[in-house]
Amino acid sequence: MSLAIEVRELTKRYETVTALDRISFEVKPGEIMGFLGPNGAGKTTTLRVLTGLLSPTSGSVRIDGLDVEAQSLEIRRRIGYLPENVSLYPELRVQEYLAYRARIKGVPRAQRRSRLDEALQRCALGDVRRRLIGRLSKGYRQRVGLADCLIGHPSILILDEPTVGLDPHQIRQTRELIRSLGQTTTILLSTHILPEVEMICQRVAIIDRGVIVAVDTPENLRKRLTGSQVVHVELRGAEGVIEQALAQLKSIQGLQTDARVPLEEVFIRLTTKEE
């Protein structure tokens, strides 16, 4: 079976800067791969090369076995790309925009309606389908961008910082959506948020200043650094009881307890509407 994404010795040089320096990595079909790195490390540049928006200085990039430069159009038919700052036409209504995108992505006329409904439903956009995109909040716009990615039924999703600028609710929803999409689709997702990678991705490539510094599973990467495994356990109950129970686990090295509830959890509890 051919690899979903295969990047070999990819280099991208601008006049004075080398944005990517001979990077190589691959993504297997069906995998959710994280692309992790600080801002400015070259994540977006790589993703732009993958989608055919930028041409590489040297090296080869294959998607589904197709060459990214020679067979760009065919590749673009197979990928869904969510750019970092989702830009949409503000004067269109949500369903109008998605119907247009479905059309230029070559969705057959007979299927457009059902694809549109499916994308709206998956991205929870049903109640804003008739709203103007320009009037939507950032979170909704992000989801319209995601719905656009899905509508062509791509075999590969390339998501550039999909949760940036969202509130914790939306982040959680987006992550859940990505995880559920990952069951049927290959996903490459860039981020600079570590927990995100742990929660969603099966494998991670870490990039720093244009060089890939590691490619592995999140657990292995952690092991490599700490020499042992760290397990986070969240316990609920009276503090005394928990302390007693933990005291019996003295054999575990480096046991640390933190009685605080994570702030994110508090926020989500307080602001979730009862349904």
Catalog residues that contact other proteins under the rule CB under 8 A.
14, 48, 51-55, 73-74, 76-77, 79, 81, 83, 85-89, 91-92, 100-101, 103-106, 145, 148
Residue 89 vs 267, nearer CB to other proteins: 89
With beta carbons less than 8 A apart as the criterion, state whether 145 and 82 touch. Answer: yes
Residue 101 vs 203, nearer CB to other proteins: 101
Which residue, 129, 128, 122, is CA-closest to 96?
129
Tell me how far, at minimum, the Cβ of 105 lies from other proteins, in Å: 6
Tell me how far, at minimum, the Cβ of 250 lies from other proteins, in Å: 56
Residue 131 vs 222, nearer CB to other proteins: 131
Residue 146 vs 197, nearer CB to other proteins: 146
Tell me how far, at minimum, the Cβ of 101 lies from other proteins, in Å: 7
Q: What distance in Å separates the CA atoms of residue 195 and residue 182, rounded to the nearest whole number? A: 17
Residue with tokens 């003295």: 250
With beta carbons less than 8 A apart as the criterion, state whether 136 and 157 touch. Answer: no
Q: Which DSSP symbol is given to 53?
A: S
Tell me how far, at minimum, the Cβ of 121 lies from other proteins, in Å: 22
Residue 41 vs 157, nearer CB to other proteins: 157
Tell me how far, at minimum, the Cβ of 217 lies from other proteins, in Å: 29
Residue 187 vs 206, nearer CB to other proteins: 187
Residue 100 vs 267, nearer CB to other proteins: 100
Q: What is the 3-state secondary structure (H, E, C) of 184-249?
A: CCEEEEEECCHHHHHHHCCEEEEEECCEEEEEECHHHHHHHHHCCCCCCCCCCCCHHHHHHHHHCC
Tell me how far, at minimum, the Cβ of 63 lies from other proteins, in Å: 12
Which residue, 88, 52, 98, 46, is CA-closest to 71?
52
Tell me how far, at minimum, the Cβ of 73 lies from other proteins, in Å: 5
Tell me how far, at minimum, the Cβ of 4 lies from other proteins, in Å: 17
Pairing of strands 32-36, 203-208: parallel
Phi/psi region, residue 119 (left: phi>0; alpha: psi -120 to 50; beta: rest), is alpha
Q: What is the CA radius of gyration of the chain?
A: 21
Residue 76 vs 143, nearer CB to other proteins: 76
Pairing of strands 32-36, 186-191: parallel
Q: What distance in Å separates the CA atoms of residue 236 and residue 177, rounded to the nearest whole number? A: 27
